[in-house]
Structure formats: structure tokens, C-alpha cells
């Protein structure tokens, strides 16, 4: 079963933390064991298999789920209007090792032949929208999580990302080991105007099954914290490419 980090107030990667078991929605708490004998003596109906941890109130206030409702999964196309309607910032966390959609475009075959370097394409609706939005003073930003060594899909994104950067998007990269140390989430999402989350669902082949739009203030706050942490540690694309080549 998958375990998703809901949040932690720790700045050094330690406990306490809250997790969600994705298949059941049940919550797992990580914290220091309750050791005070007076407190232990006051616990009631304790089973032999049970344990107890001490959690700061801040952890529950900030990260405990507020509602059982899960937003409906909708086609990506039904939410694509957000990319032109946002007012200030669009920020993305990418965590997958590859995306099926990348392998369906002509650039993928050129990449496999070794003759593809991304560049701004004014005929591309995506590139044109980035250029238009950034010319209006808005920000398109993205952090990509990369394995070491990078997967084939991640190498393609490093190459194609140069075109996004030329269009006006600021793309940075972070090795997966660093992302785990920072306890970043392992799912993809866009964050629009620090107000709306577009969370992706992917299958095991990297095919997008749809997205969920989330406006719950607690989850949005958590996404903002992820953004600030990832952005602080991530490396701009051109410098990261040099790091990859030096390791290769």
C-alpha cells in the first residue's frame, strides 16, 4: 500500500509527521514514544499490539485532514483553462520517472536518434501561452525530480525543457535523493495563485488518468510549503544539465 506524507513541521527531515495510507485513507502518525509512566498508567483499554506517540498540536492543526471528501477525478482538458486564467503564478512539481504523453510526440523519436534539443516553438500552443502569460508579468515555474542516473524520460525532459525556458518558464531540478531527504511529496501537482491545486493521477505506465482540483485551505497551505522548500533547493535547468553531464 502507498504511504503519502501529509506534512511535518520539522525543518531537518525528522519527526513528527503525519501520513495517509492512500488505499484506505487511514492516518499514520510518527512521533516520540510516550514514555511518562504516569501518563501510560492513565490510558484505557490498551491492546497489546498498540503503541502511543506524542504529537505537537501544531502538527494536527496544520496537516490533519479536515474533510473526508475527495474531489472528483476529471479529464485534464476540463481544467486546462487554469493555465490561461491564473493571475500571478503557476507552479508545478514533477515526480514521475517518465510520462507516456512524451513518447507520443515526434520529438521523442528525434531524441532517441540523438538529434533533438528543445527550443521555443511559436506554433506550439503550450509555448505560445507561456510566452503570452510571462509577457504579462505572470510566472510559470516548475521543479522536476530527477533520478541518479536520470531515466530516459527524464533525459528527454532535460532536453525539451530548454524550449520551455526559452518561452519564459523557469524550470529547476532536484535529485530524488534530495527530494526524499526534504520529504517532498511523491505526486505531481500544479499550484495556481497559491489558491488552487491541480493534482494528477497517473497509472504505472505514466499515463495521466485525470486531475483533481483542490481548494481546501489546509492542503493549499501544504502545497505552498512544498513549493517554497523545493524551489529553495532546486537547481536551474542549464546548471543541472552540466551536473548530469559531469556525472555521466
Tell whether 59 and 84 lie within a shared domain: no
**Structural domain count, the chain:** 2
- What pTM, to 2 d.p., does this model score? 0.76
Tell whether 105 and 181 lie within a shared domain: yes
- Whether 226 and 185 have beta carbons less than 8 Å apart is answered as yes
Q: What is the Cα–Cα distance from 131 to 168, expressed in whole angstroms?
A: 6
Q: What is the Cα–Cα distance from 64 to 197, expressed in whole angstroms?
A: 17
For residue 197, the cross-strand partners are 191, 214
What is the per-residue pLDDT for 145?
98
Tell me, yes or no, whether 69 lies in a domain: no
**Grid cell listed for 86:** 491564473
Burial category of 144 from C-beta neighbours within 10 Å (exposed 0-12, middle 13-18, buried 19 and up): buried
Distance separating the N- and C-terminal Cα atoms of the chain: 34
Could you tell me which of 180, 177, 144, 185 has the C-alpha nearest to residue 20? 185
- Whether 206 and 153 have beta carbons less than 8 Å apart is answered as yes
Tell whether 13 and 121 lie within a shared domain: no
Q: What is the Cα–Cα distance from 78 to 76, expressed in whole angstroms?
A: 5
Domain boundary among 34, 63, 92: 63
What pLDDT tens digit does each residue of the chain (248 aa) get?
A: 678 888 888 766 567 888 888 888 889 999 999 999 989 889 888 898 999 999 988 888 778 876 657 789 999 999 999 999 999 999 999 999 999 999 999 999 999 999 888 899 999 999 999 999 999 999 999 999 999 999 999 999 999 999 999 999 999 999 999 999 999 999 999 999 999 999 999 999 999 999 999 999 888 999 999 999 999 999 999 899 888 887 76
What is the per-residue pLDDT for 241?
87
What is the per-residue pLDDT for 12?
60
Give the CATH number, domain containing residue 120. Answer: 3.30.870.10
- Whether 27 and 53 have beta carbons less than 8 Å apart is answered as no
Tell whether 45 and 140 lie within a shared domain: no
Could you tell me which of 117, 180, 167, 115 has the C-alpha nearest to residue 141? 167
What is the per-residue pLDDT for 18?
86
What is the per-residue pLDDT for 7?
81
Tell me, yes or no, whether 68 lies in a domain: no
Could you tell me which of 120, 162, 171 has the C-alpha nearest to residue 141? 171
Tell whether 135 and 23 lie within a shared domain: no
Beta strands in the chain (DSSP E): 3-7, 17-21, 27-30, 32-33, 53-54, 89-94, 139-146, 170-175, 189-192, 196-202, 208-214, 235-236
Tell whether 54 and 96 lie within a shared domain: no
Q: How many CA atoms, within 13 angstroms, populate the side-chain half-sphere of residue 238?
A: 7
Maximum Cα interatomic distance, the chain, rounded to a whole number of Å = 71
Structural domain of residue 124, as residue ranges? 76-247
Tell whether 174 and 240 lie within a shared domain: yes
Amino acid at each position: 500500500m502507498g504511504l503519502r506524507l501529509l506534512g511535518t513541521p520539522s525543518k531537518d527531515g525528522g519527526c513528527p509527521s503525519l501520513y495517509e495510507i492512500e488505499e484506505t485513507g487511514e492516518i499514520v502518525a510518527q512521533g516520540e514514544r510516550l514514555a511518562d509512566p504516569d501518563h501510560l498508567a492513565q490510558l484505557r483499554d490498551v491492546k497489546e499490539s498498540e503503541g502511543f506517540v506524542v504529537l505537537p498540536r501544531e502538527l494536527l492543526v496544520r496537516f490533519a485532514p479536515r474533510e473526508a471528501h475527495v474531489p472528483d477525478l476529471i479529464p485534464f482538458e476540463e481544467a486546462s483553462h487554469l493555465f490561461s486564467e491564473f493571475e500571478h503564478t503557476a507552479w508545478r512539481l514533477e515526480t514521475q520517472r517518465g510520462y507516456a504523453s512524451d513518447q507520443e510526440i515526434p520529438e521523442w523519436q528525434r531524441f532517441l536518434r540523438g538529434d533533438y534539443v528543445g527550443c521555443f516553438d511559436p506554433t506550439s500552443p503550450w509555448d505560445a501561452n507561456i510566452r503570452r502569460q510571462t509577457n504579462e508579468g505572470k510566472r510559470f515555474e516548475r521543479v522536476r525530480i530527477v533520478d541518479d542516473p536520470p531515466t530516459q524520460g527524464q533525459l528527454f525532459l532535460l532536453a525539451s525543457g530548454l524550449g520551455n525556458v526559452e518561452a519564459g518558464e523557469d524550470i529547476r531540478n532536484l535529485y530524488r535523493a534530495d527530494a526524499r531527504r526534504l520529504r517532498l511529496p511523491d505526486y505531481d501537482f500544479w499550484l495556481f495563485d497559491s489558491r488552487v491545486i491541480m493534482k494528477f493521477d497517473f497509472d504505472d505506465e505514466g499515463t495521466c488518468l485525470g486531475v483533481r482540483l483542490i481548494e481546501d485551505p489546509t492542503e493549499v497551505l501544504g502545497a505552498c510549503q512544498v513549493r517554497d522548500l523545493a524551489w529553495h533547493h532546486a537547481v536551474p535547468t542549464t546548471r543541472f544539465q552540466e551536473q548530469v553531464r559531469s556525472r555521466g
